[in-house]
Amino acid sequence: MIRGYYFTALIDTNILVYAMELHPNFGARSIEILEQVDRGLIKGYISSLVLMEVCRYMEASGKIDEMRNSLSIVEDSRLEIIELHHYDIAGAVDIKPHYREIDLNDLINYQIMRRRGITNIYTNASLFKKLESIKTHFKDSP
């Protein structure tokens, strides 16, 4: 437990997108997770890569004008942004042959988690369960 926090976790891209889009199946739970971060129940982290993925999703969805708002949601929250380093990418590339079915961006976030000692992730991506020392959360509570 980090001082004052019940739980620490990386928040994956899909959680932010579900909350921003008010996804019919996953939006309410995603909003609840982000509210728990803002209430101090979860020490929530995102990587700068997650921010890039959110913006890329908005661009690909033709929501260019909404990109700034999506960044503001993160900037106005208690989420802590972890900057990406070149060695996170190099580490992901090194382990990619062992995890061919996992997207490189997910492996980069895994490397960031390892670097920062984060073992929990809120995600709806089941492949994170295959990564050593990582516990995934989404439908459950912390």
Question: Over the stretch 45-82, which tens digit does the pLDDT of each residue have?
Answer: 999 999 999 999 999 999 998 888 888 888 899 999 99
- Percent of the chain at pLDDT exceeding 70: 94
The DSSP bridge pattern shows strands 135-137 and 120-122 to be: parallel
- Whether the per-residue pLDDT at 3 is higher than 70: the answer is no
Domains of the chain: which residue ranges?
Answer: 7-83+119-137
- Whether the per-residue pLDDT at 2 is higher than 90: the answer is no
3 state SS of 46: strand
Per-residue confidence (pLDDT) for residue 86, from 0 to 100: 97
The position carrying tokens 């590339």 is: 93
Q: CATH class for domain 7-83+119-137? A: alpha beta
Q: Of the ranges 4-8, 38-42, 50-54, 117-121, which one carries the lowest mean pLDDT score?
A: 4-8
Other CB atoms within 10 Å distance of the CB of residue 85: 14
Query: Which residues, listed in sequence order, are joined to residue 80 by a DSSP beta bridge?
Result: 45
Q: Of the ranges 30-39, 50-59, 131-140, which one carries the lowest mean pLDDT score?
A: 131-140
Q: What integer is the mean pLDDT of 105-110?
A: 98
